[in-house]
Structure 1
Amino acid sequence: MAGHDAHGSLVLGPLLRYVDETSATIWVQAAHAATVRVRAFGRSWESRTFTVHGHHYALVVLDGLEPGTTSDYAVEIDDATVWPEPEPQFDGLPPSRIRTLRSEEPTRMAFGSCRTSVSHDAAGIESHGVDALRAYAYHLSRPETGAPEWPHLVAFLGDQVYADETSEEMRAYIASRRSLDEPPYAELKDFREYAHLYRLAWSDPLNRWLLSTLPSVMIFDDHDIRDDWNTSIDWLHEIRATPWWHERIVGGLASYWVYQHAGNLSPQDLAEDEVWQHLQSRLAAEPEREPDLTEYLDTFAARADAHPDSYRWSYARDLGESRLVVIDSRASRVLTPDRRSMLDDAELAWLDDHLRGGFDHLLVATSLPFLIAPGIHDLEAIDEAMAEGAWGRAVGSLGERMRRALDLEHWAAFQDGFLQVLDLVVEVATGTRGPAPGTITFLSGDVHNSYVTSLDPGSLPGGSSRVLQAVCSPIRNPLPRTARVAQAVSARWLARPLRSLARRSTKVPVPAYPWSVVEGPWFENTLATVEIRGRGLVIRWDAGQVRGEQYDAPTLEQVARVVVS
């Protein structure tokens, strides 16, 4: 397209998103309406961009690939090569590549959550520590560092961006558009501000390279929208009464579909997705014109918020011998006082269909930990009973204040849904839903500490699956030291008295299957990797370290390693 500088045509990306044995998708944000072409494996695939609030995007679907093959790739915008960059911003990075999967190859998957977008210099490290994702990227890019075997994909389990806790750079952008002295102040307001926040999160050269060459799956958590998103019906009523919330939730969900969700989907799932179908119909009707999805996506996002059962953000995929089920634990909540559940009926029915045996391993990714420390679980269950009026209105008001002040809003605070899902998991573990997997492993983040819990093997019949919870949080957003001490102490010392209190009350459900913390907690910025080993698995947590002033050469050091046999 005449009049455009090819070097400036690529705004963000490319991101390598979905990859299986025979297909892949690559996401790109362009500076203008264009045709985006991907060249790999001696072939090319292309797509027209679509626009949302003045920004331009493309998701290019590559099909007909051979299993277990690898190819470097290039991205063109209007016939000009924009990736690899003509002048790389970081020396020594290998070419971006696509590697298709093989069904018989054991899965290796990195995962983590909670990553703030601040600088990687001395000031940024002082305030937020070393970015574990960036250290991981540097390590994989340098074979001489003894890099571990590459994972097949990385799962980002929430808080990819912080819409409510903005950096100085983000606040400067907001101030260029509107006053910081008016609601929502320094928090994000709309789609355009989300677009800038994603650009800050994904533009660092090392992280950008990693996202271009390591497939990724994603799911939101509260800070992608706002702290405590959908924690209770009172919270929801209060936030909807503000003059700025509608634009915020619409911008947040619309941008989430564009930047995160569309890339989660296989080509088959994309073909069934209502937004993708609308986009393809527009492209077919006017192939030479860029579709403007602004009005459509805004309407879609408003409906998805008002009627959560109208759209599903959860998804699943099979990875050779394993199944990965990714659960939305934020948008589909039931908040009515007489029935609180993390999942509404439609979501629960979908999960029921996908929690099945017949796999060596069942991996269940959900941003909020399913099995938290028993003492904290009981505290949240007791608080839920308090907040819902089990001991009267005055105690209920205290319970609601505690819920928000202490972030008591995990699966344990939605007992109806928790107990239903636990029953489904036990059915899989005991072979009721097909041959029992070796493990059923929940992968989560959110809590800003990492640990492993395990369902007591003695509570299930012999031959049952091991049921585990592995948490990796944060990638980059550490807790203050005082909060670390308080969290560790509460998890350890509250367990027995709170379990005793819960058992004495008929108003607090007590799970039939006990569990305990078997490793952790640890509080470093980390990225974890789960590696399948037959019917067992190995989980490793790695943290970044900066020596001296070598900010662009962070080393990677193992924090913990857990073997499940």
Structure 2
Amino acid sequence: MSDSSLVLGPLLRHVSRTTATVWVQTREAAHVTVTCAGRSTTARTFGVEGFHYALVVIDHLEPGTVNDYSVAIDDELVWPEPGSVFPPSRIATLREDKAPRVAFGSCRTSVPHDRQSTATHGVDALRAYALDMAAHPDVRSWPDVLVLLGDQVYADEISEQMEAFIAQRRGRDSEPVGELKDYTEYAHLYDIAWSEPSNRWLLSTLPSAMIFDDHDVRDDWNTSASWHAEMNATPWWHERIVGALSSYWVYQHLGNLAPDKLAADEVWQVVQQHERSGAEHELDLTPVVRGLAERVDRTPAAYRFSYTRDLGRGRLIMIDSRAARDLRPGHRAMLDADEEAWLDQQLRGDVEHLFIGTSLPFLMPPGLHDLEAIDEAMSEGVYGRLAARAGERLRQAVDLEHWGAFQGSFARVLEMVAEVARGRRGAAPRTITFLSGDVHHSYVAEIPWQRYGFESRVRQAVCSPIRNPLPRHVRVLTSLLGRGLARPMRWAASRADRVPDPAYEWSLTQGPWFDNNLAVADVRDDGSLALRWVTGDVVDDRYDAPVLRVVADVADVAVDHVGDVEGASRQPV
């Protein structure tokens, strides 16, 4: 471990036309100063569970400018690191007329980048992208934001490095065996995930927007009321969920918010009140974030993790599709009533390109969507107790808990999106694109927009995994099920009681691809949206320097009928 007073970061988080936020973790209580565009901004650290953090809010920047920045801790320059081989970390502010460029992906395990780990986990697509960026340091060609759609850390599938830390701390046989227990272990896991030099530099210079998925907490997190009750009956779950949500607020959510939203955040207000008080000691925020985590676990509506971000001519709406669920029998919903009302307010036009981030794909392959709908009806007791038990076992065993398994929520959100696409909520965007991950393969699905009188084309773009590939036999099965289930499951769903037919059809238009990928949605000069998936290849055993390769290019395509696609291209994989 380094002796530097900077433990982790800096992470460049929210960037607007005139503001930016920079997150750091320090070794001790300290004052953190970020110098950018000729001015310095200082923030004091706050403590959580004995660890120390700061979020520096910079508010003096000019629109459309690019400026290097540096970080000092108690007047000691700690970033950029001496002798760094990477370009300077920079802040590129937005312009109102800027066409957005959005990188996105999910599911990234944190293991070494040597031959052995690459054989089992593949090349880290994020690291390959970082190395390519460093070799081509033209900020104007870089994404405006990196959208990380869940499973940045795996709390239930730990690496050898994490296992060794747990063994030294509490032994290998203490519960939960082979999984994280509390905040301290989460802090170590984030250190492993974000400290690799290439990715650390990338996170210091690309603004990032993040949301959790199940493995950030535990596989199948909040699948159903039965799952929730089962986990709460274990002696270790309470400390696990408190550690998971507390660390998520500190490491991920805090940096998601724009300065005005930060000012309204109930937890951040405690930090600011302490700062204004002039107290000499560092604030211990532990009881506040622990209390928040406990409230969120009991009552999803207690706090909102969803948020929005303006991107010039584009807008990102990031949806919490995990903690915001209502699991009460008879009220089952992907989003509780308060969260759904918030989303209803956010889904508006008057923007050229609308991006909707949700860790779980909104448009699954149609056959799998129908399977999840049938299983939900079974599990909720429509066909009797025996079928309900079988349905519950099935949805937990094979992860039938995407939007299709919450039919009421799916139908309502789909109709909201249709209203935006028809221009009934302001001027219709040119494109409405769901950005998702989770399923460990990538694809594009599309609603035939002209058939339904939409003015916006509506697409689902999935990029998963960044680094956690499916075994080859599972890839074959997934590919067969994704397309082969469509007709038989549509037939079964159309004849099943209490399984509604979707108001709009869609189909897979490209994919699936199973590489470790990072995707980029790029608005071109003519206003069209291009999608690209890239991966990393090791050449001549150069595991330290993977080469970026294009897996697929998808341009704006003409779709007149379900399954008919023109104008898409794919490079050989």
Q: How far apart are 1:437 and its partner, in Å?
A: 0.8
Matching residue of 2:177: 185
Structure 2 residue 393 is the aligned partner of structure 1 residue 415: no
Alignment counterpart, residue 109 of structure 1, candidates 86, 99, 102: 102
Alignment counterpart, residue 63 of structure 2, candidates 63, 67, 74: 67
SS of residue matched to 1:182: coil
The residue type paired with residue 82 of structure 1 is V
SS of residue matched to 1:447: coil
Matching residue of 1:175: 167
Matching residue of 2:507: 516
Alignment counterpart, residue 350 of structure 1, candidates 320, 342, 351: 342
Q: How far apart are 1:509 and its partner, in Å?
A: 1.1
Matching residue of 2:21: 25
Structure 2 residue 221 is the aligned partner of structure 1 residue 241: no
**Aligned Cα root-mean-square deviation (Å):** 1.5
Q: What does the per-residue CA deviation read over 1:382-406, in whole Å, with 9 as the maximum and x for residues that have no partner?
A: 1111111111111111101110111
Q: What does the per-residue CA deviation read over 1:96-142, in whole Å, with 9 as the maximum and x for residues that have no partner?
A: 11111111110001000000000001111011000000000000000
The answer to whether the Cα contact below 8 Å between 2:356 and 2:433 also exists between their aligned partners in 1 is yes
The residue type paired with residue 23 of structure 2 is W
Off by >3 Å, runs of 4+ in structure 1: none
The residue type paired with residue 292 of structure 1 is D
Q: What does the per-residue CA deviation read over 1:58-84, in whole Å, with 9 as the maximum and x for residues that have no partner?
A: 000000210011111110000000111
The residue type paired with residue 474 of structure 1 is P
Alignment counterpart, residue 45 of structure 2, candidates 41, 49, 62: 49
Matching residue of 1:529: 520
Q: How far apart are 1:506 and its partner, in Å?
A: 2.7
Alignment counterpart, residue 365 of structure 1, candidates 321, 332, 357: 357
Matching residue of 1:296: 288
SS of residue matched to 2:368: helix
Q: How far apart are 1:352 and its partner, in Å?
A: 0.5
Distance (whole Å) between structure 2 residues aligned to residue 422 and residue 535 of structure 1 = 24
The answer to whether the Cα contact below 8 Å between 2:180 and 2:240 also exists between their aligned partners in 1 is yes
What pairs with 1:102-501 in structure 2 (closer than 5 Å)?
102-143=95-136, 149-461=141-453, 464-501=455-492
Distance (whole Å) between structure 2 residues aligned to residue 78 and residue 254 of structure 1 = 26
What pairs with 1:547-562 in structure 2 (closer than 5 Å)?
547-562=539-554
Q: Structure 2: where are the runs of 5+ without partners?
A: 558-573
Q: Structure 1: where are the runs of 5+ without partners?
A: none
Query: Under a length normalisation based on structure 1, what TM-score does the superposition of the two structures give?
Result: 0.97
The residue type paired with residue 493 of structure 2 is A
Distance (whole Å) between structure 1 residues aligned to residue 498 and residue 412 of structure 2 = 17
SS of residue matched to 1:457: coil
Distance (whole Å) between structure 2 residues aligned to residue 17 and residue 76 of structure 1 = 18
The answer to whether the Cα contact below 8 Å between 1:140 and 1:148 also exists between their aligned partners in 2 is no
Matching residue of 2:568: none
Distance (whole Å) between structure 1 residues aligned to residue 438 and residue 142 of structure 2 = 25
| Structure-2 change in CA distance of 1:373 and 1:147 (3 Å) | farther
Q: How far apart are 1:267 and its partner, in Å?
A: 0.5
Q: How far apart are 1:373 and its partner, in Å?
A: 0.2
The residue type paired with residue 102 of structure 1 is R
Distance (whole Å) between structure 1 residues aligned to residue 216 and residue 3 of structure 2 = 30
The answer to whether the Cα contact below 8 Å between 2:355 and 2:433 also exists between their aligned partners in 1 is yes
The answer to whether the Cα contact below 8 Å between 2:92 and 2:139 also exists between their aligned partners in 1 is no
| Structure-2 change in CA distance of 1:550 and 1:165 (3 Å) | same
Q: How far apart are 1:7 and its partner, in Å?
A: 5.3
Distance (whole Å) between structure 1 residues aligned to residue 305 and residue 41 of structure 2 = 27
Structure 2 residue 34 is the aligned partner of structure 1 residue 38: yes
SS of residue matched to 1:417: helix
SS of residue matched to 1:183: coil
Q: How far apart are 1:456 and its partner, in Å?
A: 2.0
Distance (whole Å) between structure 2 residues aligned to residue 553 and residue 59 of structure 1 = 32
Q: How far apart are 1:536 and its partner, in Å?
A: 2.3
Q: What does the per-residue CA deviation read over 1:497-524, in whole Å, with 9 as the maximum and x for residues that have no partner?
A: 1001111123211101000000000000
- Percent sequence identity is 59
Q: What does the per-residue CA deviation read over 1:397-432, in whole Å, with 9 as the maximum and x for residues that have no partner?
A: 110111011110000000011111011011111111
Distance (whole Å) between structure 2 residues aligned to residue 166 and residue 36 of structure 1 = 32
Q: How far apart are 1:535 and its partner, in Å?
A: 4.2
Q: How far apart are 1:245 and its partner, in Å?
A: 0.5
Q: How far apart are 1:300 and its partner, in Å?
A: 1.3
SS of residue matched to 1:340: coil
Distance (whole Å) between structure 1 residues aligned to residue 50 and residue 370 of structure 2 = 48
